[in-house]
Amino acid sequence: MPTDPQNQLVTVADLEEFKKTILDSISQIVKQAAGPKKWLKTSEVRKMIGISAGKLHVIRESGLLAFTRIGGNIYYDPNDLYKLFEENKVTKHEK
């Protein structure tokens, strides 16, 4: 015999799970609305493109990648990273 939805009990655990689901959904919406971060730290850039600190230093010091230094921290604009990759993209293998 089907249970009438109006006669079902809701437990505290059910309410906690519902609250968690709603908060997770709101968090995702806020993150999507905020868009990508404007500035990336050195560690984030290294992790994103999979290079060592020394290699990133060489790229930065060669002038290939713009950066901003504030105190002891170095920040990169994601658009500059995308531009670097686009400008150095190889579409045809040269011999």
Domain boundaries, the chain: 40-87
pLDDT of residue 94: 64
CB 16 within 8 A of CB 10: no
Higher pLDDT, 92 or 62: 62
pLDDT tens for 3-48 read 677 778 889 999 899 899 988 888 887 777 666 678 999 999 999 8
Tokens of 4: 């009438």
pLDDT tens for 49-81 read 999 999 999 999 999 999 999 999 999 999 999
Closest CA to 68 of 59, 78, 77: 77
Whole-number Å distance between alpha carbons of 68 and 33: 25
